[in-house]
């Protein structure tokens, strides 16, 4: 708000810039280091969500960036606030998500004395953020915030950290606002599209691999039309299942952890791999084993919005520096010729055979059957939010994502993501169904944000897969050190009572057949809810048991 003197505090200027750049939501944990910004929120129409821990606030901002393609915004205090928030900054980095985090900083005249909670944010976030900076001069707030938004959102998106000294925030200044930032689409050139057309025409068994960010519903629809027209099998990379309608007849499956062996075979024997949008990091490359480094064994096209990513590990036969949005638009502007061999149909049949029915599992709750019930009963556009743990293998295998951004989960494999992400989705889209799925270990990493859900009356259901252990690590332990259990057992709280203690709804399920009624009761409660599932620890993946993994490891060691 401008005073009679026509001046604004730097904090007011900053909040005005957020509105100009299109921000509607901010997530924060307050701190005395940025009181002036909290005060500027008071008169703004920003929707503020106050969180219980900065990791929660940063993950909420990351989730907003992920589904909207525009920077999610969070505010945290200096020192411990900023280091707590590193959880979300790292996810935004690895997942290529636009995010801007503002950190309250000590007053400028006390800097470099290691003042109370002082940190050098350029150094701390230097290797984690896409850009880390500090605003020294109040008059430069519009310029630096504008650069933060452009940097976070364009090319390969990522997190930007902006430290804001508390004395700078209260300075009163006369300064012009910046114009709104623009999302810059990088389009493929005509020569590149010609070369792409030639590679596609020559290929007998091509496969497309979708990943990364800078997609949209329109881009996904264009990709689906292209696949359909040219009978192209399409798979999605780890936690990017929402980039292709998984009920589409060209869908070939999830190239994540524990993929369908037939999908791996198909990719290995393919004669043209087209990677669109993704980094082809460790998981989609199956720990860098699927393709030869640096030159892949088959013709290889890599389309990525960040020029620095092209040729980073794999030297492609054709590198296209373009956003998936612009690339898929270019696909619609010309005709391609292609010797259709019907492999999309075969690929989809392999996918369906792998995912249509649940596998046999030890224990009275079969999580595969639960996932299949959810895929048949959730709203078509429901958000599914989850973190990391073996429980997620059932999501990737048995759920069927239909719409862009429906899967809100960290490709970086970070635990503790689901609850804050679900809070953010419900804040953004109160009208849409939101589900969180969490492991017992995973849930308690940021489960305190359940209180945030209660505070803002956000009715979403969290399904807790309770197997009494850090299952993923137990699985690795049994593989590498069979029978030597170390630091992977968990003694859990009563998760249903936890929900009730916070003011939500809680129920525990011991048998598969009781799940639908429990889930419906949770949804009908109109409250944030937890449905806890009692899972047999032996049910470690959809395909095997702990005992089998241990027995095989023992036999191999003999
Ligand atoms: C923040 C974070 N800390 C640690 C890990 C390492 N880690 C990966 S999965 C896992 C166990 C997950 O346990 P749980 O949530 O109970 O799921 P489960 O595997 O039992 O299904 C751990 C500790 C991680 N990925 N992220
Ligand atoms: Mg567990």
Residue by residue, DSSP assigns 183-250 as: PPPPPPPHHHHHHHHHHHHH-SSEEEEE-SS---HHHHHHHHHHHHHHT--EEEETT-GGGS-TTSTT
pLDDT for residue 512 = 98
CA 151 to chain centre: 19
Backbone angles phi, psi at 273, to 5 degrees: -105, 125
Dihedral (C-alpha) 361, 283, 68, 79: value to the nearest 10 degrees? 100
Q: Could you identify the atom of ligand 1 that is nearest to the CA of residue 438?
A: 15
- In three-state secondary structure terms, 547 is helix
- Strand partners of residue 236: 210, 254
Q: Could you identify the atom of ligand 1 that is nearest to the CA of residue 467?
A: 20
Strands (E), 315-460: 318-321, 383-386, 407-408, 434-439
Substitution candidate for ligand 1 out of 94, 472, 487 with most atoms within 8 A of CB: 472
pLDDT for residue 281 = 87
pTM over 0.85: yes
pLDDT for residue 525 = 98
Place of tokens 């200096």: 78
Q: Is the CB of 41 under 6 A from ligand 1?
A: no
Q: Token pair of 557, please?
A: 């060691």
440 CA to centre of ligand 2 in angstroms: 5
Backbone angles phi, psi at 3, to 5 degrees: -80, 180
Closest residue CA from atom 2 of ligand 1? 415
440 CA to centre of ligand 1 in angstroms: 9
Contact between 499 and 505 under an 8 Å Cβ cutoff? The reply is yes
CA 77/CA 83 separation, integer angstroms: 9
Q: Is the CB of 274 under 6 A from ligand 1?
A: no
Ligand nearest to the CA of 392: 1
pLDDT for residue 539 = 98
Q: Could you identify the atom of ligand 1 that is nearest to the CA of residue 392?
A: 21
Ligand nearest to the CA of 413: 1
pLDDT for residue 1 = 65
pLDDT for residue 292 = 94
Q: Token pair of 99, please?
A: 């995010």
Cα separations in angstroms, 54 against 4, 85, 103, 335, 411: 36, 5, 11, 50, 20
Q: Is the CB of 389 under 6 A from ligand 1?
A: yes
Radius of gyration of the chain from Cα atoms? 24
pLDDT along the chain (558 residues), means of 10: 84 98 98 98 97 98 98 98 98 98 98 96 98 98 98 98 98 98 96 97 96 98 97 97 98 96 96 95 92 94 97 96 98 89 91 98 98 98 98 98 98 98 98 98 98 98 98 98 97 98 98 98 98 98 98 93
410 CA to centre of ligand 2 in angstroms: 17
225 CA to centre of ligand 2 in angstroms: 40
């Amino acid at each position: 708000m401008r005073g009679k003197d026509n001046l604004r505090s730097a904090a007011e200027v900053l909040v005005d810039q957020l509105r100009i750049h299109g921000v509607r939501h901010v997530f924060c944990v307050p701190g005395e280091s940025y009181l002036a910004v909290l005060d500027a929120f008071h008169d703004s129409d920003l929707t503020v969500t106050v969180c219980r821990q900065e990791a929660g606030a940063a993950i909420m901002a990351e989730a907003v960036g992920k589904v909207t393609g525009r920077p999610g915004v969070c505010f945290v205090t200096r020192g411990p606030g900023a280091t707590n928030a590193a959880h979300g900054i790292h996810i935004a980095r690895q997942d290529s998500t636009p995010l801007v985090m503002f950190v309250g900083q000590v007053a400028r005249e006390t800097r470099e004395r290691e003042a109370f909670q002082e940190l050098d944010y350029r150094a701390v976030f230097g290797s984690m953020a896409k850009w880390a900076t500090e605003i020294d001069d109040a008059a430069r707030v519009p310029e630096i915030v504008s650069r933060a938004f452009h940097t976070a959102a364009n090319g390969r998106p990522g997190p930007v950290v902006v430290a804001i000294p508390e004395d700078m925030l209260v300075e009163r200044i006369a300064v012009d606002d910046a114009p709104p930032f623009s999302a810059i689409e990088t389009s493929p050139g005509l020569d590149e599209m010609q070369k792409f057309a030639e590679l596609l025409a020559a290929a007998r068994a091509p496969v497309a691999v979708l990943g990364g960010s800078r997609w949209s519903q329109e881009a996904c629809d264009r990709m689906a039309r292209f696949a359909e027209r040219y009978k192209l099998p399409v798979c999605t990379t780890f936690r990017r299942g929402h980039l292709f309608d998984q009920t589409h007849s060209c869908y070939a499956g999830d190239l994540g952890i524990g993929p369908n062996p037939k999908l791996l075979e198909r990719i290995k024997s393919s004669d043209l791999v087209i990677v669109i949008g993704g980094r082809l990091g460790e998981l989609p490359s199956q720990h860098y084993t699927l393709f030869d480094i640096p030159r892949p064994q088959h013709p290889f096209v890599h389309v990525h919005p960040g020029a620095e990513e092209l040729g980073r590990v794999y030297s492609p036969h054709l590198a296209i520096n373009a956003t998936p949005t612009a690339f898929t638009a270019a696909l619609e502007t010309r005709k391609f010729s292609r010797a259709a061999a019907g492999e999309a149909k075969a690929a989809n049949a392999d996918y369906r055979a792998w995912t249509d029915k649940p596998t046999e599992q030890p224990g009275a709750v079969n999580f595969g059957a639960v996932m299949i019930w959810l895929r048949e009963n959730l709203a078509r556009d429901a958000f599914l939010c989850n973190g990391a743990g073996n429980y997620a293998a059932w999501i990737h295998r048995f759920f069927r994502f239909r719409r862009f951004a429906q899967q809100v989960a960290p490709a970086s494999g970070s635990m503790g993501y689901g609850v804050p992400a679900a809070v953010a989705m419900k804040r953004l889209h109160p009208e849409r169904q939101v589900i969180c799925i969490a492991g017992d270990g995973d849930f308690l990493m940021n489960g305190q944000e359940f209180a945030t859900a209660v505070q803002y009356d956000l009715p979403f259901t969290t399904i807790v897969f309770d197997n009494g252990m850090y299952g993923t690590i137990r699985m690795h332990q049994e593989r590498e050190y069979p029978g030597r259990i170390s630091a992977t057992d968990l003694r859990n709280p009563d998760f249903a009572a936890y929900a009730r203690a916070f003011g939500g709804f809680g129920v525990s399920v011991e048998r598969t057949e009781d799940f639908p009624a429990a889930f419906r009761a949770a949804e009908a409660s109109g409250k944030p809810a937890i449905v806890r599932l009692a899972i047999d620890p032996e049910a470690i993946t959809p395909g095997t048991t702990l005992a089998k993994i241990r027995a095989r490891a023992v036999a191999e060691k003999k």
